Chains A and B, each alone.
Chain A
Amino acid sequence: MDPSRLIPYPDILPAPWWLFYVLLVATFTLHLIMANVMLGGGIMLLAGEWLKRGEQKHKGERMHRDIAPKLPMTIALTVNLGIPPLLFLQVLYGNFIYVSTMLMAVYWLSIFVLIILAYYGAYLYNMKYDRLGGSRPWVMVISVLLMLAVGFFFTNSLLIMTDPKVWPTYFDRSAGTLIHFSEPNLIPRYLHFVVSSVAMGGLVMGLLGWWKNRKGEPDGGATMTRGLRVYAFATLFQFLVGALYLGTLPNQVLTRAAFENTAAMAVFVISIATALCSVLYGMSDRPWHTAVTAVATIFFMVLFRYAVQNAYLESYLPAARAEVVLQLSPMALFIAALIGGTAVVVYLLKLALRPGKESQL
């Protein structure tokens, strides 16, 4: 069956395609960074539990003290920052993503339940740390496994979305349980995300160490170095995973995305350069340089990722591109809300950081 026959017609866009594309790339980058920090934070806590078993008990305790109280907040922010990219993805590629999620409906629907459980697990781990006793590591193991499952389902849906060739399997199995194992790219793509999370978990630990060092806490420097080493080694390992990712892309996709698209190739080369810089900065204990180059790497990788996605969909997109009927006033509403909302958040943060007197009651 010709899969292009199955692609639903798109709905009308109220603003130009490129605008949603910019919003998608920008918000997806932020979401991905936060998702990496969240999963990486969970993995660091598990590493801390491991350290506590041996002779490095104090190191493990410190990792817990540093990270555990912040994990629920990073989950909240990951979920929150996940909303705009999913929204803009549905605006631009709705006729692809609705089909792909339908083909894996059972897993897709489970995502919100898995996040709720992971979230409460993270709260439980932090708030009832002492009372949990021996079951404590298991609470975090479960939370991390749930996060890993959510990440895998997202990877799966985004891959099915870009590969309409697999869509006709629906006619044999419409229960919504498709995992796209027939695409060799699935596992490397997912591993790319997981390894990136370990790196970002290390980076956040490095930054926390830097902050503690600045406040004069004795173990700050050691925490910083340890975190940055985790970042650097994970990122070096990422080069292997990345090569596997590229190697398992279908030939025509790789050719189209990398060799025939100069802009995409340039973005890719820049991302490799920033990644190498971040590793060098990480190895030389410069946390902020590492952070800036790491964020730049993720941003350029996201850009390249969308070039790959468009290469996958190349033969399908022209027929499935939406008509644009401009309605600019709702966009003005959004921009006004964004400016106003940002101002209010800045004001809130100023209030929160201002040393205040507590109530006299």
Chain B
Amino acid sequence: MNYPVWELATFGGGVLVAVIATLHVFVAHFAVGGGLFLVITEMKAYREKDKRILDYVRGHTKFFLLVTMVFGALTGFGIWLIISLLSPAATSILIHNFVFGWATEWVFFVVEIASLLIYYYTFNRMEPRNHLIVGWIYFIFAWLSLFVINGIVSFMLTPGRWLETKSFWDGFFNPSFGASLFFRTFIALSLAGIYGLITSTRIQDDALRQRMVRYCVLWLAAPFVLLVPSAWWYLGVIPPEARAVISDPELTVDTVRKAFLVLTPLLFLAGLFMTLRLPKTFQQGFSFVLMILAFVYLGSFEMVRESARRPYIIYGYMYSNSILKSDLPEVQKQGVLKVARWAKNKAVTPANQAEAGEELFKLLCISCHSVGGYRNDILERTGGMTVAEFDSVLDEMGAEEAQMPPFAGNRQERQALARHVLETLRK
């Protein structure tokens, strides 16, 4: 009720967030696990006195640098840009509450950049022991970055005692902090194996390629032993209402959750399949198939996690449409248009029905619903509805329709919104 709303009706902002965020987490987790992969594989090269493995690590580091430091870092920046456009009020809460968390994460990021550049540029020009120290420093600080970000991201789903105390530490070490940290760490290690397959399947020497492919499969598969229990733990610590939302068969998220469950063994088994002695071109092609599977896997996890928050953007504190839970009764009493700073019409009148309805749709619905777009298409959701039926949906919001916040407006606003959706948008 505090900020303007970016008019993205057809496309829907949710799709933009999903695309940017999934691309980012897919690379950002690799930036963590891949760091450990680099040092452990370099140690393997020294232990086995095999220069070819060392050459492989060097080539993989270049790939790692170009993927994580450019694409990974900047898509992270992209998430910041898109969330501040789509949910400025929630972004502002995250920024103000965790400013020193973000600032700390930035320091870790500086060390990451410095260590990774030095690691890459001093390959074969530094004593192995020191070079490994640089690699370890990279990994430790990359994981510490994950540690900090994890505290803030998990806060949004389970703010815990923060709701009463507003204390940084209560928000940071929130109920899902541990489960989320373990889960993400194991995902990161598994992704290191998947990215490793992209480069190891390109090794020319047949015997070495098979060895390294199996080595990467070990990275891919072994973390699953702990990844599955940590996912279970994660599910156990989220609010029961959130569990109900992600298991509601009428919602898209239920399908996504099922896809996640199917992909867990599928990814594991597809990884094991790579241990067979297969032709090089097939291995190369299949490594990309694994990559896509892993992308969808991680994307489905993030989507389930995001959906679990519904109808909130910060659970129990701020609804998806940026209305504070504590403000809702007052907003309902006074009316959305009167309370919203960025509403042109301050009340619904017979003369401004259409314009007010459009404003209400922007203020209350556009944060989750697209108009004819891919995500939560309002036209599809309201297909065939009469004004009375739509009105009863608005009435059930926050109760029967638990994934949506309670309708925040007054009687006239409800009618104006219903007419806008059914008579203007559906025209």
Contacts and interface: CB of A to CB of B under 8 A. Distances in A.
B168 interface: yes
B102 interface: yes
A9 B114 contact: no
A87 B98 CA distance: 10
B7 A176 contact: yes
Contacts of B80: 86
Interface in A322-361: 322, 325, 327, 329-331, 333-334, 337-338, 340-341, 344-345, 348-349, 351-352, 354, 356-359, 361
A240 interface: no
Given A105-B6, A109-B82, A351-B118, A79 B126 contact: no
21 contacts: A5-B341, A8-B88, A14-B97, A14-B168, A80-B113, A83-B106, A98-B3, A98-B84, A175-B7, A176-B6, A325-B166, A330-B100, A334-B100, A337-B104, A341-B141, A351-B134, A352-B134, A357-B127, A359-B54, A361-B45, A361-B46
Contacts of A333: 100-101, 104
Interface of A: 5-9, 11-15, 20, 23, 73, 76-77, 79-80, 83-84, 86-88, 90-91, 94-95, 98-99, 101-103, 105, 108-109, 111-113, 115-116, 119-120, 123, 170-171, 174-176, 322, 325, 327, 329-331, 333-334, 337-338, 340-341, 344-345, 348-349, 351-352, 354, 356-359, 361
Given A80-B110, A327-B168, A345-B114, 18 more contacts: A6-B341, A8-B88, A8-B341, A11-B93, A14-B96, A76-B117, A98-B91, A105-B6, A112-B74, A112-B75, A330-B168, A338-B107, A340-B107, A352-B121, A352-B134, A359-B46, A359-B128, A359-B131
B389 interface: no
Nearest to A351: B130
Given A14-B99, A80-B109, A361-B46, A103 B4 contact: yes
Contacts of B141: 341, 344
Contacts of B82: 109
A23 B93 CA distance: 20
Given A112-B75, A329-B168, A334-B100, A102 B107 contact: no
B4 A358 contact: no
Contacts of A175: 6-7
A331 B341 contact: no
Contact of A120 (B70, B108, B167): B70
A91 B51 CA distance: 51
**3 closest residue pairs by CB, A with B:** A98-B88, A112-B78, A330-B100
B252 interface: no
Instruction: Provide the main secondary structure of the chain B interface.
Output: helix
A86 B91 CA distance: 13
Contacts of A76: 69-70, 73, 113, 117
B106 A87 contact: yes
A348 B137 contact: yes
B6 A174 contact: yes
A91 B97 CA distance: 9
B108 to A, nearest CB: 7
B50 interface: yes
A104 B270 CA distance: 45
A359 B2 CA distance: 60
A23 B100 CA distance: 12
Contacts of B70: 76, 116, 119-120, 123
Given A102-B85, A115-B74, A344-B111, A87 B103 contact: yes
A36 to B, nearest CB: 19
Interface of B: 2-7, 16, 45-46, 49-51, 54, 66, 69-71, 73-75, 77-78, 80-82, 84-85, 88-89, 91-93, 95-104, 106-111, 113-115, 117-118, 121-122, 124-128, 130-131, 133-134, 137, 141, 166-169, 341-342, 344, 362
Contact of B4 (A119, A174, A327, A357): A174
Q: Which of A5, A7, A83, A101 has the most CB of B within 10 A?
A: A83
B167 A327 contact: yes
Nearest to A338: B107
